[in-house]
């Protein structure tokens, strides 16, 4: 006996309400852009600048106690993480405390750092502070630029890859779906004011990779079916392709979501934003693979000239990628 999330053969009409689903996606993208521009993002220390304090102690790191000790100081965004390294001694417990730059100052002042150290020493008298480093606005601006370049470069590379492997219509549909996923995710972060930092950028890049993987799997099956069913209308071939890959899509997304839900609930505050971004991205990415990428390919159409049967559905069918 084996688990079946869907029957072996399905014939669901995924494109019955294609105008409605595509219209909803367009509205979601526009709404996300409006929210992003009007509310803005809740940038973390990586993008705002601030100070990082490294601590060492003979006692175990208690992140909750550290946070409770620092909270009365009213320093805004404070991130506390325990650092693990196989080279550490048994009694070497290391933590990293990141404090955002205070209003009107490029870095946290010496008095503020002293207040933080005093508050932590009350919790753990054995604690020491081997290093204090500051990130100024200039470095933060460079990080924002680098993050945007990373996302843009990945989208451009995917555009070229899909264009070479399939036809240009497939490439446009795939990249449009990725833009949809990224913009909607950023809009949700802006609406909920979830901290946006370098970990979130890593999550966005993960979402892009996950979404394009699902899109390519369906595109591969679509290419095969376009050659097999030369006279079948394009929308029917698309429906067949999505149905044939449905079990794989649900199994892959479902198992990933189970792991992410566990991390979201039990992983703690440090990785919650990162995990939430990936979890949301997988949901919206699975949706966009069908209702954005395939809808665009359907609207643009594909050259299925019967005089060129060997090329039906792809200009580069012989490329092994």
Secondary structure in 3-state letters for the chain:
CCCCCCCCCCCCCCCCCHHHHHHHHHHHHHHHHHHHHHHCCEECHHHHCEEEEEEEECCCCCHHHHHHHHHHHCCCCEEEEEECCCCCCCCCEEEEEEEECCCCCCCCCHHHHHHHHHHHHHHCCCCEEEEEEEECHHHHHHHHHHHHHHHHHHHHHHHHHHHHHCCHHHHHHHHHHHHHHHHHHHHHHHHHCCEECHHHHHHHHHHHHHHHHHHHHHHHHHHHHHHHCCCCCHHHHHHHHHHHCHHHHHHHHHHHHHHHHHHHHHCCHHHHHHHHHHHHHHHHHHHHHHHHHHHHHHHHCCCCCCCCHHHCCCCCCCCCC
Give the class (CATH, top level) of 18-42+140-311: mainly alpha
pTM of the shown model: 0.72
Give the class (CATH, top level) of 50-135: alpha beta
Q: For 172-227, how does the pLDDT look when each residue is reduced to its tens digit (9 = 90+)?
A: 888 888 889 989 999 999 998 888 877 888 888 888 888 888 888 888 888 888 88
Write down the pLDDT at residue 51: 81
Write down the pLDDT at residue 318: 47
Ranges of residues in the chain with a pLDDT under 50 are: 309-321
Domain boundaries, the chain: 18-42+140-311, 50-135
Write down the pLDDT at residue 312: 40
Write down the pLDDT at residue 301: 79
């Amino acid at each position: 006996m084996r688990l079946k999330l869907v029957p072996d053969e399905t014939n669901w009409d995924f494109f019955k309400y294609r105008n409605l689903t595509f219209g909803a996606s367009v509205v979601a993208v526009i709404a996300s852009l409006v929210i992003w521009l009007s509310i803005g993002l809740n940038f973390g220390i990586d993008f705002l600048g601030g100070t990082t304090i490294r601590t060492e102690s003979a006692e175990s790191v208690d992140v909750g106690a550290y946070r409770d000790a620092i909270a009365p100081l009213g320093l805004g965004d404070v991130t506390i993480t325990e650092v693990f390294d196989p080279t550490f001694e048994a009694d070497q417990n290391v933590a990293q405390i990141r404090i955002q730059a205070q209003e009107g100052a490029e870095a946290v002042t010496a008095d503020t750092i002293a207040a933080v150290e005093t508050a932590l020493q009350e919790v753990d008298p054995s604690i020491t502070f081997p290093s204090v480093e500051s990130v100024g606005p200039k470095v933060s601006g460079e990080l924002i630029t680098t993050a945007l370049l990373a996302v843009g470069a990945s989208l451009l590379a995917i555009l070229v890859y899909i264009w070479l492997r399939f036809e240009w219509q497939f490439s446009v549909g795939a990249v449009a779906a990725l833009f949809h996923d990224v913009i909607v995710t950023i809009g949700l972060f802006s609406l909920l004011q979830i901290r946006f930092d370098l970990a979130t950028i890593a999550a966005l890049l993960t979402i892009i990779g996950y979404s394009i993987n699902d899109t390519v799997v369906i595109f591969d099956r679509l290419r095969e079916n376009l050659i097999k069913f030369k006279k079948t209308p394009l929308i029917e071939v698309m429906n067949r392709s999505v149905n044939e890959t449905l079990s794989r899509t649900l199994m892959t997304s479902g198992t990933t979501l189970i792991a992410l839900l566990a991390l979201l609930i039990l992983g703690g505050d440090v990785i919650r934003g990162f995990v939430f971004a990936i979890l949301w991205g997988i949901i919206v990415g699975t949706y966009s693979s069908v209702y954005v990428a395939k809808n665009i390919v359907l609207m643009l159409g594909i050259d299925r000239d019967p005089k060129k049967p060997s090329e039906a559905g792809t200009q580069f069918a012989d490329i092994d990628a």
